Structure 1
Amino acid sequence: MKKTRRRYFLALMVAVIGLILTVCTYLATDIYNKDDVAVITDHAIKDTLVEKSTDVYGNKDETRKQILHLKVLSGKHKGEKFTTTNLYYPSQLVTQKYRAGQRIFVNIKHHDPAIQNPKRDWVLVLSLTVTVALMVVVAGRQTIGLVVSMALSWLIFYLVIILDVKLNGSYIILLFSLADIVFSFFSLLIVQGLNRKMLATWLATLLGTFVSFALCYLIMQLTGESEIKYEMGDYATQDPRGIFLAQTLLGILGAVMDEATDIVSSLSELVETKKDLTARQLINSGRTIGQEIMGPLINVLVLIFMSEALPMTIIYLRDNNSLGSTFGFTLSLGATQSVISAIGIVLTVVFATGCSLLFLEEKRRKVRDEN
């Protein structure tokens, strides 16, 4: 009971500190170097219709104009007031509608303010506050390790991207393969500590990731990579095929490490609590656990992929493209990555269960030593 109250108290403290940081971030104006911060001073923005349009497929849209009165809050134009216009489409696919009192970034040249984008950094701080507070409620002291692990993962990812840019994508597969090894090792090390369970989880993760990737890469080579439209990816500066494969490596790792951790941790506890456990029982238990979590994990991957591709899919279908063309242009790459990750999830059940046999052998060795 005391531990529960302590968790709630710590979560409340995190929430209060986070809300204070959110307010400070919202009010911050002089910490940005590139653009100035301005606020829309209108209480009611004048919004008028410029024109209506209908394309050949019957899709209707409008072009609307906002007249915005701005007050600059930072930079050499601090305190000055400007009037500008903003053209937007109600669909807001590539344009932005602004609200009264909203803070925005502007670039002022020759006393003409150009709106860049809304000031959203405070939203990120608020989201992190809610996330960490909930983690404290659920995980307690382990939250520190989880937060450190996430921060380290972001740092490693940033360094990998910088190195990839310097190498101009020359060794992108090798680079992200090494990144997978480093990601998984430090993530598991910080959360679980350096022990036999962590090493077994790490081994199962690496086997699941690289075996599934190698298997799918072999299939792609045997089929000539037909119908994989790499050019449909949003890539501008590097080889789209290499970036697709790098994305696939990271995607497999995320799904596989989650599953390997669940299976190895569960079987480790089972070995510790059941004294007369046999290898066959351990294998059956691992298979049962895998059957329970495979489905939800694969469904999560599919749902994430669908939610990411949904906007472009709707646009292609509304432009009278066939379902086959739409799939090729918007869904083929994501579907391929989902299938590869799903194969990794299935294989990881075998690898995680096999690695967990090390716990049983270690326990038997200790029993023999005691006797």
Structure 2
Amino acid sequence: MKKKKIRYIIAFFALVLGLALTACTYFAKNIYQKDDVAIVIDKQIKDKLIEKNKDVYGNEDQTREQTLHLKILSGKYQGKTFIEKNVYYPSQLVTQKYRAGQRVFVHFKKGNLTLVNPKRDWVLVLVLTLTIFLMILMAGKHTVALLVSMALSWIIFYAVILLDVKLNGTQIILIFGLADVVFSFVSLLIVQGLNKKMLATWLATLLGVFISFALCYVIMKLTGESEMKYETGDYATQDPRGIFLAQSMLGILGAVMDEATDIVSSLYELVQTKKDITVQQLIKSGRTMGQEIMGPLINVLVLIFIAEELPMLILYLRDNNTLGSAFGFTLSLGATQSVISAIGIVLTVVFATGCSLLFLKGKKWDWR
């Protein structure tokens, strides 16, 4: 009870500190090098219709113009007020509508002001604050290890991207394959420590990632990679096929490591509490846990993928494209990645149970 109370106190102080940092970030002015900070001082922004737009498919939109009064809060022109026109579309797909009292980034070139974008960095700090607050409440002392693991993952990922850019994507599969090995080892080592449970989880994760990836790669080669529209990948400045395969490999890792950790940890606790458990009982327990985990994990992957591509799918359908055409250009690659990850999730049930048999029992197994 005392430990729980201490956890709540630490979580409260973390929340207060985070909210204070959020406020500081919101009011920050002179810490930005490239752009200056301004505030929209209009109580009611003048907003007028320029023209109505309608394309050949019957989609309607408008072109509107805002007249903004901006007070500069930092930089060479601090304290001065500028009037700027902002043209936007209510759909706000590629343009931005500004609100009264909103803080924005602006850029000056030869005395001329240009709107950059809204100042949203404080939102990021707020989200990070709430995340850490909830992690402390749920994970307690393990929060530090989780945060360190996240930070190291970002550093490793940045280093991998720099290496890939330097090599211009020529070794992208090898690079991201090694990255999967390092990602999983570092994350599990920090969170679980170097022990049999960690090694079992790591081995199960690697088997799930590489065997499912190899299986799907062989299937793709046997089918001639038909209907794989690699050219639809966003901002593919390197080989789009290689980028797709690298994305798939990272996607498998996220799902597989989560599942392997759950199964191995549960079986570890089972072995510790029931010393006389047999092989058949452990296999049955692993299969039962896998059946309970597989469905939700696969559904989460599919829903995340659909949510990510939903705006583009709606745009394609509104432009009178057929469902098959819209699927091919917006959902085909993501659907393939989801299937690859789903196969990895299914196979990991077997690998996690097998690795538990290999690592978690100190004496000979009872095979009855």
TM range (shorter): over 0.9
TM-score, normalised by the number of residues in structure 1: 0.97
- Alpha-carbon shift at residue 110 of structure 1 (Å): 2.6
* Correspondence list, 1:187-336, <5 A: 187-336=187-336
Q: Which runs of 5+ in 1 are unaligned?
A: none
**Aligned counterpart, 2:29:** 29
Specify the SS of the correspondent of 2:362: helix
- Alpha-carbon shift at residue 363 of structure 1 (Å): 3.7
Q: Which amino acid aligns with 2:43?
A: H
Specify the SS of the correspondent of 1:362: coil
Distance 1:294 1:360 in 2: 23
Distance 2:148 2:197 in 1: 20
Specify the SS of the correspondent of 2:147: helix
Distance 1:48 1:211 in 2: 59
- Alpha-carbon shift at residue 360 of structure 1 (Å): 5.1
Distance 1:269 1:200 in 2: 13
Specify the SS of the correspondent of 1:74: coil
Asked if 2 retains the 8 angstrom alpha-carbon contact of 1:51 and 1:63, the reply is: yes
Specify the SS of the correspondent of 1:71: strand
% identical equivalent positions: 73
Distance 1:242 1:24 in 2: 42
Distance 1:129 1:361 in 2: 41
- Alpha-carbon shift at residue 185 of structure 1 (Å): 0.4
Distance 1:345 1:263 in 2: 12
Asked if 2 retains the 8 angstrom alpha-carbon contact of 1:268 and 1:359, the reply is: no
Asked if 2 retains the 8 angstrom alpha-carbon contact of 1:39 and 1:70, the reply is: yes
* Correspondence list, 1:90-109, <5 A: 90-109=90-109
- Alpha-carbon shift at residue 235 of structure 1 (Å): 2.4
- Alpha-carbon shift at residue 359 of structure 1 (Å): 4.0
**Aligned counterpart, 2:64:** 64
Asked if 2 retains the 8 angstrom alpha-carbon contact of 1:271 and 1:359, the reply is: no
Q: Deviations over 1:122-164 (max 9, x none)?
A: 1000000000000101110011111111111111111111111
Q: Which amino acid aligns with 1:259?
A: E
**Aligned counterpart, 1:343:** 343
Asked if 2 retains the 8 angstrom alpha-carbon contact of 1:180 and 1:253, the reply is: yes
Asked if 2 retains the 8 angstrom alpha-carbon contact of 1:204 and 1:348, the reply is: yes
TM-score, normalised by the number of residues in structure 2: 0.97
Distance 2:171 2:235 in 1: 17
Specify the SS of the correspondent of 1:170: coil
- Alpha-carbon shift at residue 2 of structure 1 (Å): 1.6
**Aligned counterpart, 1:157:** 157
Deviation >4 Å, runs of 4+: none
Moved more, 67-76 or 251-260: 67-76
Distance 2:277 2:211 in 1: 29
Specify the SS of the correspondent of 1:84: strand
**Aligned counterpart, 1:119:** 119
Number of aligned positions between the proteins:
366
Moved more, 73-82 or 131-140: 73-82
Distance 2:189 2:274 in 1: 26
**Aligned counterpart, 1:171:** 171
Q: Which runs of 5+ in 2 are unaligned?
A: none
Asked if 2 retains the 8 angstrom alpha-carbon contact of 1:68 and 1:85, the reply is: yes
Specify the SS of the correspondent of 2:42: coil
Specify the SS of the correspondent of 2:33: coil
- Alpha-carbon shift at residue 298 of structure 1 (Å): 0.1
- Alignment RMSD (CA, Å): 1.2
**Aligned counterpart, 2:9:** 9
Q: Which amino acid aligns with 1:167?
A: L
